[in-house]
Structure 1
Amino acid sequence: LVSESPAFTDVGVFDPSGKMVAYAGPPPSLAGKDYSEEAWFRRVHSDARGHIISDVFLGFREEPHFVVAVARPIGGQTWVLRASVDPDKFASFVGGVQPTKGVEACVVNEAGQRQTGMGGGPGPLARMPSRDGPASIFEMEHEGRSYVAAVSWLSETDWAVVVRVPRDQAYASVQRTRLILTAIMLVTLGLIVVIVVRSTRKLVHQLEQGDQTRHELRGQLFNAAKLASVGEMAAGVAHEINNPLAIIYEEAGALKDSLDPSLGDRVGDEELRERLDQICEATMRGRAITRKLLVFSRQHDEAPVRLDVNELLDRVLEMKATEFSVSNIAVTRELGEGISPILASRNQMEQVLFNLLNNAKDAIAGGGRITVRTRRDDRFVHIDVQDTGCGMTAEQMEKVFFPFFTTKAVGKGTGLGLSISYGIVKSHGGRIEVSSEVGEGTTFTISLPFA
């Protein structure tokens, strides 16, 4: 922007809450400031055109300046790009377009207050023409001298360009004054529109690319964490499948022996039917286990649906039952009654619960207890996952949702489970909190809004 015009002093990008998230220019202390209550920020959000030019004001920098702001929707939320302009440098540009000696120019707002200097010129103009009308030319007095003043509104803002010339000089070059006024208006408007449009398109494109990249990376991390959870469940699943396979093997062997004439142990139709029924039952049990595992490990995103939280927990705990049993971990279910459904992706909510239950299991050494609890208040459904494990220090709790942070031994975890769970819960309009005491255990609480 500075290369285009030295009148620009800085540029900043604001998130939907009004916080400046990117900034270039002096002073650096403005980065991170909250502009949500600034008049220009509220105005650009309500402007139907999506862009405004403010009056000159002091603001956080305590120096006179005005801003050019553009609002654009990105991902369903409104982001704002703002550039600050030095009114003195802008005034030198406006005042410099003076091909006729004695002509002075400035810019005023709708109330007639000067936004750029006019060489010791007048205060607020006593008369301002209607915005809907044509350019206005009138006579005015200042410090004992008579002037002819011309006012023309700019189409993209509530500003007007004011040009004044001594009365005795004005009428000798009326046509020249009109040309000057037109040139100032067109050049000023063209400069502002071209710079703002070019810069806005470039920055909006970069923001869109960044948002798309973050979305793709989040999906990749989600699938990676899901596959890691599948790996952690492998031992329990193998044990679950081994039982029906053992039954099938035993029954098939008995039937095979009954066909050997040397053994003389022929089975009757009724016994044959019972053995075949046991083989079918064991086969269906193995198929149910593998189907659950395949459903959990699928990678496509599901549309949000109404979910019964208690039913969701029962399903997840059923898949973890053998793993907990082998690890000598008892599970207590305190599922509340009348729990309102939530609107969420079943696949993603299962991933969050698997992550929390896996962490609870890994925190318990030599046996213990995991308590799963559901409750509700006026707006949210709360899910508590509480363990009697080793607990965490205050320093560990501060970092527990950071990507790649883990308290597990090397090779035991990726450090992504909780950070991904945090992102999933936030994307559903909820929150996830942790409380812990060393040696006492840890409780993670998920809060999700009603459907």
Structure 2
Amino acid sequence: MPDWLYSATPHIISLIAVLSLLLSSINAFGDETQKTVVIGGDYNYPPYEFINDQGEPAGYNVDLTRAIAEVMGMKVSFRMGEWSQIRKAFEQGQIDALQGMIRSEERSRIFDFSPAHAIIHQSVFARRGAQRISLLQQLAGKEVVVQENGIMHDYLISNKTGARLITVPTHADALRRLASGKHDYALVANLPGLYVGKELGLSNIIPVGRTFQAQRYGYAVRKGNDALLAQFSEGLAILKNTGRQQQIYNKWLSPLQEHTSDWKNLGKVAAIVSALLLVVLGGTVVWNRMLKKEVDRRSEELNIRQQQLIQADKMTSLGILVSGVAHEINNPAGLLLLNIPMVRDAWQDCEDILEQHYQQHGDFLLAGLPYSRMRDEIPLLLSDMQDSSRRIKRIVEDLKDFARQRHDDEHAPFDLNEVTEMAIRLVDNSIRKSTDHFSVEYYQPMPAVAGNAQRIEQVIINLILNACQALGHRQQAVSIRTFYDAGSGQVGLEVIDQGCGIDSENLKRLIDPFFTTKREQGGTGLGLSVSSGIVQAHNGQMQFSSEPGEGTRVTLTFPASTTAQTTDSYSMHSESQVNHS
């Protein structure tokens, strides 16, 4: 896509949204009796839709509906209640639309649906220790609690699984019954089930088996109400194109949740243990001062090691999570790379027909825009989509490689330039947010270093992030260079920033465990300590030089694995002044 068109596209999309809003507003002004659209929803289906503590509608669906009403100039009111009652009122014409309904073949006979704004998965929940369920046919003869008139109620009836169904008004009722010891299983939507279980503190029930039925979830209207369906579909398209729908999605349905309760409990246990140790040490002080000093010293070492073990376990769990998420992202990215060429071929097959129609009948609308414009833009859009999919796949592969667990004794020759490039790609977003002046210089040819490439990558990432955090504004620079000293046989890397610098009294404490000047911002003080340990394990050195207000230079050096003759073949591959504006 041409640079001018690429830069103008967001403004065009915004202009379309504004024009739609203005036209809707003009229509509303000309008709003071504009009809209020009654929107139905489940009063207890968090986080999609529910009644909050203030007695008002809330959730992802509610925010999305309000945003669509705003851009389309609609008047809406919400009617929330038990799902079975809301669905009945909808079928009887008392409600104009449902803001969240799962599409099925049976429901499509009596309702029309907008494009999906979410995907819903279903899960089987049970009390701890219950048999795992991998197929819904395993529910035959079991008492299964489902939401009355919900999608799984419909599914189990139409597919005759043999389960004995117990219907309840809400997901919360289903999980409460299960937690109290009644019935065998509950079949409910996965995310609302997890949400409700957490909110109600139902710790004895868990999902048992994989999720089922990836189902399309969107707006529903009664058959024939095409005008209202078109308003919701167009409004949803505007929100997607302007990024507002994604903002609402991220607010309510972000897939990554921070689970900190286990660490808080562990901290409480550690605090109790520390208190007991202090009592014991206090008694020891009375008997022997010299013994007190020895015990204090050893207790401090023990506490440091304990904190390092906690942090190491936390990072291991994070690595597993990142690896799993990367795998989940990789699958749809691969699907995009497979399908986009097919869509491009389909477009090419249709292009001659569309062009013939254009020549015979003149311009016409395609996806809401003139064909004369879309015939040039669609190939560019498909090309951009394929390039973006490739970039997603490459980033995911970098994340998977970073998260992959290796033992410290897995040492092999590696290229410091390649490891540095990988580290820069992983933190590219942080660099772009911090500075407009980032440069890299690579020494070529670079002798190999013997060690664990992943661990050295971890060190470089930490140094780059520290440099970015030290900057006060975007005009300050960060530069990186690799080098080789043939005389000493040392391979090295420097990370230089023009940030705030470091006080002399703090400079000598940088690698002390738990020393940090960013405690209030959540710093643990372990980053440079762990990095220093990794460098020392590779027989290397990490040196710091800094002055307050003058920036900081960090230098890493490692022994080359071979005595490469590079004195007369020095060359520098430069990527200087990479503009991140």
Structure with max Cα Rg? 1
Do they superpose with TM above 0.5? no
TM-score tier by shorter-chain length is 0.3 to 0.5
From the two aligned structures, give the one with the greater helix fraction.
Answer: 2
Higher RCO by CA contacts (8 Å cutoff, separation 6 or greater): 2
TM-score with structure 2 setting the length: 0.34
TM-score with structure 1 setting the length: 0.42
